[in-house]
Homo-oligomer: A and B are copies of this chain.
Amino acid sequence: MRKADRTRAAIQQAAFTLFAQRGLHGTTMRQIAKTAGVSLGNAYYYFPGKEALVFEFYELMHQQLLKASLDSVNANQTLATRLESFLIQYFMSIEAFHTLAREVLAGAIHPSSPMSPFSQASRDLRQRTIDLFHELGGTDIKSHPLQSRLPLLLWLMHLALTLYWIYDLSPEKAKTHQLVKLSCRLSGQLIKITRLPLMSSMIKQIRAMFLAHEKETL
């Protein structure tokens, strides 16, 4: 039993190393098996396929990102600045993985991928991230008309910015960082302004959208 664990770990480790060295596409299952000192078929005994390996890497990467980002958010500033410092840290952490993160995240967009932000497989990770935005919201969202839905909206914003990051070719991803800054300020204002009675009709509609989305589809 211990042997099996060691074999599995060796394969996983080999995969992670090679992913970091040569990227996702650049790494073949044969390379992984050889590096792990194991036969090709054996890799498939422990992992259903290459994608499973990528998924585990994705989970690890994402957890690291969240942890690193969270560290930078203990000061009790405004919601906008909390958001901003979180996202800046988030994207800096991603940057550490260079092109690999781009490859992983790009693959994650595909609906059939278990890494898809909307997939069942990544549900835990997703929920934890959304919860994180809940904490980040602090007291600012407590009395807001959209209440419990705000974290999901903030999560969607973070998703949109990540999508922008994937495509961003500007040096140092300057555009993404600029956009992060502006988005955070804007969302801070939006959250304030949507409290006004003037906005109640729109709030009602946004709530209707959530209700439509949340409807069960058995």
Contacts and interface: CB of A to CB of B under 8 A. Distances in A.
A107 B107 CA distance: 10
A183 interface: yes
Interface stretch (A6-14, A65-73, A146-154, A174-182): A174-182
Interface in A165-218: 166-167, 169-171, 175, 178-179, 182-183, 185-186, 189-190, 193, 198-199, 201-202, 205-206, 208-209, 212-213, 215, 217
Interface stretch (A31-39, A109-117, A123-131, A136-144): A109-117
Contact of A209 (B166, B183, B189, B209): B183
A185 B202 CA distance: 9
Contacts of A186: 202, 205-206, 209
Contacts of A190: 202
A132 interface: no
A212 B109 contact: no
A179 B106 contact: no
A44 interface: no
Q: Is the interface of A mostly helix, strand, loop or mixed?
A: helix
Contacts of A185: 205
A165 B75 CA distance: 39
Q: How large is the interface on A (under 10, 10 to 19, 20 to 34, 35 or more residues)?
A: 35 or more
Contacts of A189: 201-202, 205
Contacts of A202: 186, 189-190, 193
A118 interface: yes
A63 B214 CA distance: 33
A179 B212 contact: yes
B175 A215 contact: yes
Nearest to A202: B189
Interface of A: 102, 106-107, 109-112, 116, 118, 166-167, 169-171, 175, 178-179, 182-183, 185-186, 189-190, 193, 198-199, 201-202, 205-206, 208-209, 212-213, 215, 217
User: 5 tightest A-B contacts by CB?
Assistant: A178-B212, A170-B217, A109-B109, A182-B209, A186-B205
